A and B are shown apart, each in its own frame.
Chain A
Amino acid sequence: KAGVTQTPRYLIKTRGQQVTLSCSPISGHRSVSWYQQTPGQGLQFLFEYFSETQRNKGNFPGRFSGRQFSNSRSEMNVSTLELGDSALYLCASSLASGLYEQYFGPGTRLTVT
């Protein structure tokens, strides 16, 4: 069974631009979560989607948004990029929402200049 895939793997953007990251979950998984990882803040939860609905959201500004499609694939969008948005963005999928182990993708390394 294929694992979680994320595209692109690396991205360089300039301040003020917007970016869209994509995540394809493991087949059969309906929950997708997004995380931001930085050296200073560690791993922080962004949001979770289940059956195309946002189930939970972390403490991030409204510039960070996401969505999930009917095939469970998910996208994350960051508008008006700031230097502090430079991070590794990890996507994780699980069978359902709740107490299920999550399987992570390789991440998208975003650099904002």
Chain B
Amino acid sequence: AQKITQTQPGMFVQEKEAVTLDCTYDTSDPSYGLFWYKQPSSGEMIFLIYQGSYDQQNATEGRYSLNFQKARKSANLVISASQLGDSAMYFCVSSPGTYKYIFGTGTRLKVLA
């Protein structure tokens, strides 16, 4: 079965430092997408970044970058220069060729002033 694993239930990072949130996925589909979403305490899910399985380069969006290692089936999110507003739950999501999202269990990030 398709599965997303996020092994860090909670993390702390000092403001202005970089942090890496881990994600490994398990899919047999040759074509798939990997996403990261942020969910603040308000509850709304916010799209951060997308990586396609055939993309040669790692995706970047502002302070977010996705460290995609296909052979290892990992898709770690790197947040540079952390801000207090980055405190939230972060979900790694895969979308295999079955048109549905599979969510990881999430990592709760707390940015310290």
Interface residues of A (CB under 8 A from B): 33, 35, 42-45, 48, 50, 55-56, 58, 88, 90, 92, 97-99, 101-107, 109
CA of A16 to CA of B31 in the docked complex: distance in angstroms? Answer: 42
User: Taking the complex as formed, is B46 at the interface, i.e. its CB lies under 8 A from any CB of chain A?
Assistant: yes
Given the contacts A99-B95, A105-B44, A48 and B100 also touching, CB distance less than 8 Å: yes
For B35, the chain A residues whose CB sits under 8 A away are 101-102
Q: Which of B15-23, B69-77, B80-88, B102-110 contacts A (4 or more CB under 8 A)?
A: B102-110
The residue from A33, A42, A50, A97 contacting B105, defined by CB atoms under 8 A apart: A42
Asked whether A56 and B100 contact (CB < 8 A) given A101-B35, A102-B47, A107-B43, the answer is yes
Residue among B33, B99, B105 making CB contact with A55, cutoff 8 Å: B99
**Cβ of B101 and Cβ of A102 under 8 Å apart?**
yes
In the complex with contacts A42-B106, A101-B50, A58-B100 CB distance below 8 A: yes
